[in-house]
């Protein structure tokens, strides 16, 4: 795990010779050289302010998405139809909490505290993935989230395993392995439901109809409307463009839908022989921006639940700090 203890004193402080700091242009050149050579930037390395800020924003948004993303499916843990499904769902929702923790830790290595990041989320200043502002109306939604939402997350996140910032890239390797389990459990649950009664099949189709378009929007605005993407590419933070990722996702999902026996709700979706890719219909970006800007079906509920969970957990943090202080005092006493 990355450093959790940035407030600890440096044991070597004061023993090192002061080295004159290189001029900023030389540092910038070194940084650019690392970008050109596709080498990693580590927390102790010099980096431009804008690179640091972009990473803090992206990593914290990513962490927020993981922990807010626990809510739509968490709502179904007590209503899972069998012990097996409940155990799988519990494990998956716990994984998402873990992803949030790795990512907050990666964000902390950039000099921003977890409290600062959480304050951004709780005050509504920081964003999280808009997909989690949609409701989970039936049990089929849980399977569809695994299949499509986690499937889209994998498509988005595998390239981040090669991100130029070391702690973020390393966190993503484990996260992607777990996301793969999430996708498979969703698909398998849907396969079972599609083999059930006509009412079950209808429930799955209804969930697919509601989630398909918001999932396509998860990849972000079209490349033509993404002015920051070029800088992200240069910095090795973004490796594949929004539209390319969306296309890869559509192409991978169409055969899976066929195996499941569901229809993807897009009359324009068809194979384009010349492009050797699927064409698909127009995404409703007005709906996407309305949800991003706080007006989705569940934005207020999600944020209120998150803030309450944080407040309810205050005693755990207090107890952990008191325990750590006691242990430190005991260690000091023993050392004396
Ligand atoms: Fe996750
Ligand atoms: Fe996941």
- Is residue 119's pLDDT more than 60? yes
3-state SS assignment for residue 165: strand
Q: How far is the centre of ligand 1, averaged over its atoms, from the C-alpha of 328 (Å)?
A: 34
How far is the C-alpha of 317 from the C-alpha of 293, rounded, in Å? 31
DSSP state of 270: E
Which ligand is located closest to the Cα atom of residue 150? 2
Contacts of 173 (CB under 8 A, 6+ apart): 161
101, HSE (Cβ side, Cα atoms, 13 Å): 8
Compute the distance from residue 11 Cα to the ligand 2 centre, in Å: 39
Asked if the model's pLDDT at residue 298 lies above 70, the reply is yes
Whole-number Å distance, alpha carbon 90 to ligand 2 midpoint, is: 12
Measured in Å, residue 279 CA sits from the centre of ligand 2 at: 27
Which ligand has the nearest atom to the CA of 145? 2
Tell how far the Cα of 269 is from the centroid of ligand 1, in angstroms: 28
Residues, CB-to-ion distance under 5 Å, ligand 2: 150, 179, 182
Q: Mind listing the pLDDT tens digit for each residue in 57-95?
A: 999 999 999 999 999 999 999 999 999 999 999 999 999
The rounded mean pLDDT for the chain is 92
DSSP secondary structure letters along 29-83: HHHHHHHHTTPPB-TTS---HHHHHHHHHHHHHHHHHHHHTHHHHHTTGGG-SSH
pLDDT interval class at 20 (50, 70, 90)? low
Segment 245-264 mean pLDDT? 98
**CB distance 268 to 279 below 8 Å:** yes
Task: Please tell me the distance between residue 145's alpha carbon and the centre of ligand 2 in angstroms.
Answer: 9
Q: Is 69 exposed, middle or buried (0-12, 13-18, 19+ CB in 10 A)?
A: buried
**Nearest ligand to the C-alpha atom of residue 65:** 1
Contact between 140 and 204 (Cβ < 8 Å): yes
pLDDT, tens digit (0-9, with 9 covering 90-100), for 182-203: 999 999 999 999 999 999 999 9
């Amino acid at each position: 795990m990355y450093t959790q203890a940035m407030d600890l004193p440096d044991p070597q402080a004061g023993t090192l010779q002061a080295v004159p700091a290189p001029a900023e242009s030389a540092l910038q050149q070194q940084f650019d050289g690392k970008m050109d050579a596709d080498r990693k930037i580590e927390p102790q390395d010099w980096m431009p302010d804008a690179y640091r800020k972009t990473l803090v924003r992206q990593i914290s948004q990513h962490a927020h998405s993981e922990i807010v993303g626990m809510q739509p499916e968490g709502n179904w843990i007590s209503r899972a139809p069998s012990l097996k499904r409940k155990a799988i769902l519990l494990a998956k929702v716990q994984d998402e909490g873990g992803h949030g923790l790795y990512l907050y830790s990666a964000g902390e290595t950039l000099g921003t505290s977890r409290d600062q990041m959480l304050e951004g989320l709780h005050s509504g200043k920081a964003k999280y993935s808009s997909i989690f502002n949609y409701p989970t109306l039936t049990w089929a939604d849980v399977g569809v989230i695994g299949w499509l939402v986690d499937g889209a997350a994998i498509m988005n996140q595998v390239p981040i395993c090669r991100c130029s910032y070391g702690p973020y890239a390393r966190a993503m390797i484990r996260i992607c392995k777990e996301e793969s389990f999430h996708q498979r459990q969703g698909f398998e649950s849907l396969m079972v439901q599609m083999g059930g009664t006509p009412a079950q099949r209808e429930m799955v189709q209804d969930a697919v109809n509601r989630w398909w378009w918001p999932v396509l929007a998860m990849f972000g605005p079209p490349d033509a409307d993404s002015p920051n993407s070029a800088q992200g590419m240069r910095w090795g933070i973004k490796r594949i463009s929004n539209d390319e990722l969306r296309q890869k996702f559509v192409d991978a999902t169409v055969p899976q839908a066929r195996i499941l026996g569901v229809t993807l709700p897009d009359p324009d979706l068809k194979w384009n022989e010349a492009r050797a890719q699927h064409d698909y219909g127009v995404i409703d970006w007005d709906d996407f921006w309305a949800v991003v800007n706080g007006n989705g079906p569940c934005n207020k509920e999600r944020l209120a639940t998150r803030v309450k969970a944080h407040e309810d957990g205050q005693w755990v943090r207090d107890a952990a700090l008191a325990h750590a202080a006691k242990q430190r005092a005991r260690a000091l006493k023993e050392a004396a």
